[in-house]
Structure 1
């Protein structure tokens, strides 16, 4: 294969690049934006896809962001690839802001006095997965199956995160749609003008060659 890596990445390298891409997040962001602008689709469909990806970035559907973003883009008749690229709005730099804004808003909607601290959120997620593993093991042993940590996670983390993230994510997604749409349109117009100038120069050069001959 022409585009296959010469040496396959190890699992450790893959995890490292997931947290910090080759060349840094600035280069990765520039590449994503470059791809978004050059997608072969209408600016409206691309902007809808971007909005879908940004919206999903505010939800706690970790591991399903790509599928959920693609599904929303399909429903909105947006560009699916733009939606997948739009999920990169959620990254190590924006995640703390996303987490706090979603949890604070969700806790306010549910009438909770205060949200869990970021450390408490991480601890709740960890406790849930540990409990799931213990219950899976308990199926084959006399140990009781308990779902206390899982109930705590869904009540204290997932529900407020989902509610708050959906509300805040909707606002940010709509804003991203109206911000990205004119930028993509302007890029398309500028690129079309450049291509037209190149064509005119090539045609003028061809005419000069014909006249000399």
Structure 2
């Protein structure tokens, strides 16, 4: 196979790379930033798409983040590909903080007082009883996730829209300058050909 590895990666290696990339988080963040800036679309569409992905990554429904982000991006006129990139706001490093914050915020908003049985829900998770998980865990996490996700999404949108607009304007300027330089080169080449033929 063309791009196959010489030695197969173990499950532990793949997990370690998912938690801590080979070339540091700063490089990964720079990569995703450039991917977002280079997407085609209006600044609003790209920023709204990323914001939709950020908002859905604050919800507790793992496995549905990309689908939810795409649906939300479509509803608000955002870029669907940008929404998938925005879901990377939820990752193995940020999920513990997101889950703890959204759970406590949701409990506070609902007036819940956490009991010992609510804190240790391992047995409920093992049996995956939705009714048993909804009240003590999923409902407060959903409410807290919508609150904090909306804050994070609006902040992301505000920061990205201006940056994307500036990047696209600079890119258009560079393309125009390159086109003018090519036109000047073509004119000088045609003049030289005219002089030589004369």
TM-score with structure 2 length normalisation? Answer: 0.84
Note the residue ranges of structure 1 that are not aligned, 5 or more in a row: 133-146
Quote the RMSD (CA, aligned, Å): 2.3
Cα distance, 1:42 vs structure 2: 1.5
Take 1:26 and 1:180, find their aligned partners in 2: how far apart are those partners?
18
- The corresponding residue for 2:124 is 128
SS at match of 2:105: helix
- Mapped partners of 1:93, 1:212: distance in 2: 62
Cα distance, 1:112 vs. partner? 2.2
Q: Determine the C-alpha separation between the residues in 1 that align with 2:123 and 2:27.
A: 36
Measure how far apart 1:194 and its partner are. Answer: 1.0
How big is each residue's C-alpha offset from its partner over 1:157-205, in whole Å with a ceiling of 9 and x where there is no partner?
2111111111111122112112111110000000111111111112212
Q: State the shift of 1:152 in Å.
A: 5.0
Give 1:166's match in structure 2, choosing from 137, 140, 146.
146
2:92 is aligned to 92
Unaligned segments of structure 2, at least 5 residues:
194-198
Offset of 1:55 from its aligned partner? 0.2
- Given that 2:125 and 2:133 are in contact with CA atoms closer than 8 Å, whether structure 1 keeps it comes out as no
Is contact 1:103-1:115 (8 Å) kept? no
* Pairing 1:178–2:176 present: no
In the TM superposition, what are the counterparts of 1:45-194 in structure 2 within 5 Å?
45-113=45-113, 120=119, 124=121, 126-132=122-128, 152-194=132-174
Give the aligned partner of residue 196 of structure 2.
Answer: none
> Closer, same or farther in 2 for the Cα pair 1:154/1:5, shift >3 Å?
farther
